[in-house]
Amino acid sequence: MDMIRIPLFLLFALGISVSFAGTGARLLRQPDISTEAIVFVHGGDLWTMPRGGGGAHRLMRTEEVEEFPKFSPDGKLIAFTRGGSVFVMASAGGEERQLTWRPGWNQVLGWTADGKNVLIHSDRLKGSVTTNPHLFLVPERGGWAKPLPVPRATHGSFSEDGHKIAYGPNPEIVLWTPFRHYRGGALGYIAIYDLTNNAYAELPRTNANDVFPMWHGQAIYFASDRSGTMNLYRYDLESKQTQQLTSYAEWDVANPSMGKDAIIFENGGRLFTLDLESKAVRELAISLPRDALPGDQEKVRWGQALNDAWRAYREHAFHPAENWAAVKPRYEELMRWATDASDASSVIRDMLAEAGQSHLIFWVPGSGGHGPGVGLPGADFTVENGRYRIAKVYLGEESDGKPTGPLAAAGVVEGEYLLEVGGTPVEPLRDIYAAFDGLAEKEARLKVGPDPSGQASREVTVKLSSDERALRWTEFARGNRARVTEASGGRVGYIYIQNVDPEGLDSFRKQWMELRHEVDAMIVDVRNCNGGTMSEAVVDILAARPTRRMYDRRGMVPPFGVFLDGPKVMIANDQSVSGCDEVPMMFKRGKLGPLVGTRTFGGMIGAGDTYRITGGGSMVVPEFGFYSDGIGWSPENFGVEPDYMVELKPSALTGGRDPQLEKAIELSMEALRAYTKAPPPPPYEPPE
């Protein structure tokens, strides 16, 4: 084990003591700890065992994968994620209750101190760069998921009084994609938001990933790879000092979880606890019943899958990691403990992460976390007067002058109450999306009205959607375009690019051609742009310059080409990835205008073919690097730095505004004031 290799003098210097209780089972993942028990994931199922030791007990056996279990504060309940939805059950076992139905990803993070609400991370409102919340409180008894005012948050942990929350404002890339030693623009860091006083602060940042914030007393514990490997750290809120608590060198500390007096975590597939008072680390010896062990055929198949993935990277990667030969034996040993496809997949992903490169993707069909069949109405809701009230209706793209959003197309407006779905009353004691279960892409009869009692209500027929993302992104772009038009008096245009694949390029070109004759300057927004292969084509349009201009007696005739003579500004952020890393890179290097926002993701090598992996898996390998004469290689694992760094804080601090967009407008107007285009000389007149 890693800790044995640590010199004793270093352990004493750090105040760490270590005991080894044995060498039980491995591949025990995502643990949590209460005062009496621990819970963990193995073989895609939840297991519990007494905290003091003993045999592990499987809570359920299902075809789906259970993940991220968290004990309630009293230890009597366990909340967990299955198939992207949140469930809760008694920690002793029994029937579970479903709490969320909204399609997408809903990950359990913890509980409020009173045990009344489960804290989750959800991408349910994805469709805004700046304001959409990612943390929600779901009542343990069921009901509406209440958003917290901290956009772009991943893990979160409340202070003991519940008035503050420590959270990760950047997506924790190293946790959800195989990319160890990530150092791009989306580096994880930890912030504190005071929910009562609307105050914001950050823990000191380093050039490393600080993730998994865990609040305990006057300290925030977290994991960080600042030493090269993920280890546990403690930040003292009073002294402002940071203390390293573990010093593993081979395997990362993974999925740490805070109990009342200890942190439990994974390392090399084993579980350990760290006592908060003594700082002692103890390995837990956990034995599993024989029926949890896989058969020989499964072991052979998973071993071959690991070998396939390792070989595909070695043979096809553009620039293979130097230590790749040494990686394989470590994960072959770990794979021997896999008991189902989810275990095997996690081992393969962790192995691929050792390459420390982007565009290295492994997946197994059917392993995604999306609840099937739930219809989406194209709206946001609040709970008021004991009913669900429609807070926002998304219009979508207008077709023949009519909105395409489901509720908008049916004439439902903001402020109305949703009273019934299919003749069944809708009440806030249950997640609203449960009422739409099984109705994706189907027509549903809804009762809506201006009064919660049902007076003056009416029935409408709505065709529910299976995906609201396009509606939300359209609304985001529409709102930004209106802000830019208003602030600039119509002189500046705005275009949002969601990707640079052929469809994204077509959308960009269409918007560009419509706007370029109407405005004097342009803002191009590539925040959260998820890549593609047509980045050069986008920049070629932005960089186009006329070789001649045509005039009539009234002045210059609008040009026939694609060019816009006026100033241009681009906005990018840490989620501008791959081909959308390249767009701001080429924009900046071509000196086409200022770049505003934050450093881009840094995924700047190219994905190649898809390779089949034994057992039905698929894998994409980074097969291409990009080199520019006079510039060098594209900055993989770093990204593109903006000319004007503008970071986003919780929307309450900005009044819901978008500081990055505001800076782009300011720069556009400054450039227009300085922009002059010399008139041509008088037309040629022939001699008399």
The proportion of the chain whose per-residue pLDDT surpasses 90, expressed as a percent, equals 78
d(CA 608, CA 227): 32
Q: Are strands 219-224 and 231-236 parallel, antiparallel or unpaired?
A: antiparallel
Under the banding of pLDDT at 50, 70 and 90, the label for residue 686 is low
> For the residues 521-549, what does the mean pLDDT come to?
93
Collapsing DSSP to helix, strand or coil, 185 comes out as: coil
The alpha-helical segments, DSSP class H, found in 411-553 are: 469-488, 502-515, 535-543
- What's the pLDDT score for residue 111? 97
- What's the pLDDT score for residue 14? 39
Under the banding of pLDDT at 50, 70 and 90, the label for residue 126 is confident
Please report the domains of the chain, with CATH numbers, ordered by start residue: 28-149 (2.120.10.60), 154-258 (2.120.10.60), 294-363 (3.30.750), 379-465 (2.30.42.10), 490-604+639-674 (3.90.226.10)
The pLDDT tens digits of the residues spanning 381-438 come to 999 999 999 999 999 887 677 899 999 999 999 999 999 999 999 999 999 999 999 9
Q: Within a 10 A sphere around the Cβ of 380, how many other Cβ atoms?
A: 18
Torsion angle (degrees, nearest 10) of CA 225, 346, 306, 361: -70
Under the banding of pLDDT at 50, 70 and 90, the label for residue 1 is very low
pTM over 0.75: yes
d(CA 132, CA 128): 6
> For the residues 99-107, what does the mean pLDDT come to?
91
The residue ranking higher by pLDDT, 368 or 530, is 530
The pLDDT tens digits of the residues spanning 457-511 come to 999 999 999 999 999 999 999 999 999 999 999 999 999 999 999 999 999 999 9
Contact assessment for residue 341 and residue 363, using Cβ atoms and an 8 Å cutoff: no
Which one, of 22, 23, 40, lies nearest residue 31 by Cα?
40
- What's the pLDDT score for residue 406? 96
Which one, of 365, 387, 395, 372, lies nearest residue 468 by Cα?
395
Give backbone dihedrals phi and psi of 352, rounded to 5 degrees, phi first. -65, -30
In the predicted model, is pLDDT for residue 448 greater than 70?
Answer: yes
Under the banding of pLDDT at 50, 70 and 90, the label for residue 687 is low
Contact assessment for residue 84 and residue 371, using Cβ atoms and an 8 Å cutoff: yes
Contact assessment for residue 431 and residue 103, using Cβ atoms and an 8 Å cutoff: no
Give backbone dihedrals phi and psi of 341, rounded to 5 degrees, phi first. -65, -30
Q: How far is the CA of 88 from the CAs of 94, 541, 672, in angstroms?
A: 10, 53, 57
Which one, of 297, 298, 266, 257, lies nearest residue 284 by Cα?
266
The pLDDT tens digits of the residues spanning 244-269 come to 999 999 999 999 999 999 999 999 99
The pLDDT tens digits of the residues spanning 160-214 come to 999 999 999 887 787 878 899 999 999 999 999 999 999 999 999 999 999 999 9
> For the residues 117-131, what does the mean pLDDT come to?
85
Torsion angle (degrees, nearest 10) of CA 6, 11, 16, 18: 40
- What's the pLDDT score for residue 129? 79
Strands in 318-421 per DSSP E: 361-363, 379-384, 387-393, 417-421
Strand order in the sheet with 262-267: 18-20, 281-283, 270-275, 262-267, 253-258
Contact assessment for residue 592 and residue 204, using Cβ atoms and an 8 Å cutoff: no
Q: Which residues of 128-144 are buried (b: 16+ CB within 10 A; e: fewer)?
A: bbbbbbbbbbbbbebbb
Contact assessment for residue 607 and residue 302, using Cβ atoms and an 8 Å cutoff: no
Range from 36-40, 466-470, 484-488, 648-652 carrying the lowest mean pLDDT:
648-652
In the predicted model, is pLDDT for residue 235 greater than 80?
Answer: yes
Under the banding of pLDDT at 50, 70 and 90, the label for residue 372 is low
d(CA 503, CA 237): 49
| Residue keyed to tokens 């279990």 | 69
Under the banding of pLDDT at 50, 70 and 90, the label for residue 152 is confident
d(CA 502, CA 511): 14
Q: Are strands 66-71 and 270-275 parallel, antiparallel or unpaired?
A: unpaired
